[in-house]
Amino acid sequence: MGSEVMYFDSLKEAQTLLTDMLVRIDYNAIVHCRKGEVLLEIGGKEQVRVQAGQLLLVPEQKLLQSLMVSNDVDAWVLLVSDRVLKRVLGAQIDIWNRAMYLNNTYVIDWQRWTEMMWASSEVFNDKELELFDEIVLSCLRILLLIICEELLKQEQPMTAAETSTDRDKTFFRQFLFLLSHEQLKRQQVGYYADKLHITPKYLSTICRKVSGKSPIRWITDSVMEDCYEMLRSTNLTVKEISNKLGFPNSSFFGQYFREQAGMTPVEYRTKNAI
C-alpha cells in the first residue's frame, strides 16, 4: 500500500497530530484512544474531546489543532488516503461523507469493538506477510464498514442525502474534492460548475439536495478555514492574507471575515494567539 495507508501504534509517533500549530493532514485520520484524553480543534472553530474507548475521525484536508493531550494518553493512529478510502468503502463512502461534512460527527464510542481492533491493528505493520496489500485492504474494509455502521446509528432518521440520486452524490463528492484542493477557494459557483461540466443551477440543486446547504455556503466555510489557518499559523499581515486568498482589498476581506466570524481578523488573531 506504500504511503497510502500508515499505522502508528502511539500518538507520539504521529507527530502531526500533536503539534500546537494548525495543520491540514493529507489523509483521513482514525485515532483510537485507549487511555487518557485528547482535546482538539477541528475546522478552526469546533472543539472536540476524545476519551478512552472512543474513536476520533478526521477527514482529509480538515484544519486541525491539538489543544490538550493528557500525560497518560495511549492511542493508535491510522492514516488512509482519500483514494484508498473511496476504493475500500465503495458506495458506503456516502455514509462517511455525511458524517464528516454534513453532520460533523468526529467522535464515536468504540468499546464494543476494542478486542477486534487490537487484533487487526497488528496487521498494518506486519510487512512480512506475503499478501500484505490484500490483507490490509480486507482489514481496512471491515474496520471502515464497522465505523460506518456506528455512524449510521448517530444519524437523524432522515437526511437530505437520502432523497438524492447516486449521480447527485457523485457530483457533490467531486465538488467537495475540488473545493478542498483549490488554492483560491473564493470563486463563483459557476467556476466550480464549469470544472464539473454542469450548470451553476444544477450544482446548486445538487448541493441543496445532498447536503441541505448551498454551494455558496460550502465555499464560504472553506474560505473561512483558510482565513483561520493563515491568521493563526503565519505572521502575514491582514493585507498579505487578503491578497493570498484572492480578495480585492483588505477592507473587503475584513468585512467578509467579520460577517462570518463575528469579529475582525485582528481580533480573531489576538484571541487565538498561540
More confidently predicted of 66 and 247: 247
Are residues 181 and 139 part of one domain?
no
Domain that holds residue 70: 5-153
Q: Is the dihedral of CA 224, 228, 234, 237 positive or negative?
A: positive
Residue 120 to residue 231: CA distance in whole angstroms? 41
* Cβ atoms of 60 and 28 closer than 8 Å: yes
Are residues 166 and 123 part of one domain?
no
Domain of 38, CATH number, reads: 2.60.120.280
* Cβ atoms of 54 and 108 closer than 8 Å: yes
244: its cell numbers: 493570498
> In the prediction, which pLDDT does 163 show?
60
How many Å separate Cα 65 from the centre of its chain? 12
Are residues 102 and 172 part of one domain?
no
Instruction: With cut-offs at 50, 70 and 90, classify the pLDDT of residue 160.
Output: very low
Domain of 226, CATH number, reads: 1.10.10.60
Number of domains composing the chain? 2
Instruction: With cut-offs at 50, 70 and 90, classify the pLDDT of residue 147.
Output: very high
Rounded to two decimals, the pTM is 0.77
Does the pLDDT of residue 263 top 90, yes or no?
A: yes
Does the pLDDT of residue 218 top 50, yes or no?
A: yes
Quick: pLDDT tens for 223-260: 999 999 899 888 999 999 999 999 999 999 999 999 99
Length of the chain: 274
Are residues 64 and 166 part of one domain?
no
> In the prediction, which pLDDT does 197 show?
96
> In the prediction, which pLDDT does 161 show?
47
* Cβ atoms of 172 and 196 closer than 8 Å: no
Quick: pLDDT tens for 15-46: 666 566 667 888 899 999 989 999 988 887 78
